[in-house]
Amino acid sequence: MNVFSDPAFDNHEQVVFAHDARTGLKAIIAVHNTRLGPSLGGCRMWPYASEADAIHDVLRLSRGMTYKSAMARLPLGGGKSVILGDPRSQKTPELFRAMGRAVEQIGGRYIVAEDVGTSPDDMHNIARQTSHVGGINDGSDPTRTGDPSPFTAYGVFIGLKEAVRFKNGHDDLGGLRVAVQGLGNVGYHLCRLLHDAGARLVVADLNANIVDRAVRELGASAVSVDEILSVDADILAPCALGGVINDRSIKTLRARIIAGAANNQLESDRHGQMLLERGILYAPDYVINAGGVVEVYYGREGKPVSDTNKHIEGIADTTREIFKRAAAENLPTGFVADRIAEERFAPR
């Protein structure tokens, strides 16, 4: 277990290990870059197979948040935290209050929000110990629940439509077949938006109940999680875990566009080049899934949801710029997105 030699280490400014014996808290907080502002990123609770896996995850996710906030034109840096544990059986209010104390000790350099395995209720418990928390609803704004998932889904929907426009010359989704991998909070919200826009859905998730719900409510077709990546579809929307676009899956991909909510969809940067060579248009995940962090920022600023949505709709312009530059220079879209982000947060 080593932070500095981990392949995901990218000149991170700070990595903190937090432990509380009374509650059993074991957590890692990673601050990647604060050049544009305090780092913001979700707190993920997951039963990692090893501490090394947790370190790798928090390093790569915090780096991704730096790029995401820069591309979303937010005055924020990138950070992330992980709690080692099973969210189904090991959550307690006391554990999240201990996490709040750990966040408070960072002194405002890191703002925490919900992520995989955590919820707005968990953020409320964190907020009892620190003000450096987002994605909570204090009751003052009835249009906000504290859940950023619908906003994340909206941004993905905007980016997906822009990919269709770039590929087809229009953004009409009517009749297009979209394969959605993962029906969690974001994935299901995205499915609703796609259904309402006239798309035909093919879905897969480990949770059979949520798959059945999508079939009943949205007229989706269901396939197994082993089949979804190779489904004959116009668009593939990965909305589960990362690394699904890799040497194995690229060989069997049949979609012409990849646009989904999952972070770190490409297992390696070289897979962006492989997609380019196959003529598959990839909407960089951290660009189009930034709606959640936009909402957390605007919620903390006390600005209305209408401002959040207007900002999210700007994802279309950013995505279009990436596609045009990538096509003009014959470069992978992910490479171009990284270059634009780095221009924004690089030292001046």
Are 80 and 185 found together in one domain?
A: no
Asked, for residue 144, whether it belongs to a domain, the answer is no
Asked, for residue 244, whether it belongs to a domain, the answer is yes
Q: Look up the CATH number of the domain holding residue 94.
A: 3.40.50.10860
Are 114 and 157 found together in one domain?
A: no
Are 83 and 175 found together in one domain?
A: no
Asked, for residue 195, whether it belongs to a domain, the answer is yes
Q: Which residues are catalytic?
A: 80
Task: Encode 280-328 in three state secondary structure.
Answer: CEECCHHHHCCHHHHHHHHHHCCCCHHHHHHHHHCHHHHHHHHHHHHHH
Task: Encode 122-153 in three state secondary structure.
Answer: HHHHHHCCCCCECCCCCCCCCCCCCCCHHHHH
Are 77 and 202 found together in one domain?
A: no
Who's near 210: CB < 8 A, 6+ residues apart? 183, 188
pLDDT at 223: 98
Are 251 and 309 found together in one domain?
A: yes
Are 19 and 76 found together in one domain?
A: yes
Give the helix/strand (H/E) hosting 104: helix 93-104
* Residue that is last in its domain, among 95, 127, 159: 127
Give the helix/strand (H/E) hosting 165: helix 149-168
Q: Number of folded domains in the chain?
A: 2
Q: Which residue has the tokens 């096509």?
A: 327
Are 163 and 266 found together in one domain?
A: yes
Q: Is residue 203 helix, strand or coil?
A: strand
Who's near 17: CB < 8 A, 6+ residues apart? 27, 28
What amino acid is encoded at 120 in this protein? Answer: P
pLDDT at 139: 63
Q: Is residue 245 helix, strand or coil?
A: strand
Are 87 and 159 found together in one domain?
A: no
Asked, for residue 174, whether it belongs to a domain, the answer is yes
**Cβ–Cβ under 8 Å, residues 230 and 254:** yes
Asked, for residue 54, whether it belongs to a domain, the answer is yes
Asked, for residue 37, whether it belongs to a domain, the answer is yes
Asked, for residue 283, whether it belongs to a domain, the answer is yes
Q: Which residue has the tokens 């312009």?
A: 317
Are 78 and 117 found together in one domain?
A: yes
Who's near 343: CB < 8 A, 6+ residues apart? none
* Residue that is last in its domain, among 74, 92, 127: 127
Are 177 and 289 found together in one domain?
A: yes
> What predicted TM-score, i.e. pTM, was given to this entire model?
0.92
Asked, for residue 155, whether it belongs to a domain, the answer is yes
| Residue numbers of the domain that contains 170 | 149-345
Measured in whole angstroms, how far is the alpha carbon of residue 276 from the centre of its chain? 22
Backbone angles phi, psi at 252, to 5 degrees: -110, 0
Are 116 and 223 found together in one domain?
A: no
133 beta partners: 112
201 beta partners: 178
pLDDT at 346: 82
16 beta partners: 29
pLDDT at 2: 84
Q: What is the pLDDT along the chain (348 residues), one digit of tens a residue?
A: 689 999 999 999 999 999 999 999 999 999 999 999 999 999 999 999 999 999 999 999 999 999 999 999 999 999 999 999 999 999 999 999 999 999 999 999 999 999 989 998 999 999 999 999 998 876 667 677 778 899 999 999 999 999 999 999 999 999 999 999 999 999 999 999 999 999 999 999 999 999 999 999 999 999 999 999 999 999 999 999 889 999 999 999 999 999 999 999 999 999 999 999 999 999 999 999 999 999 999 999 989 999 999 999 999 999 999 999 999 999 999 999 999 999 999 876
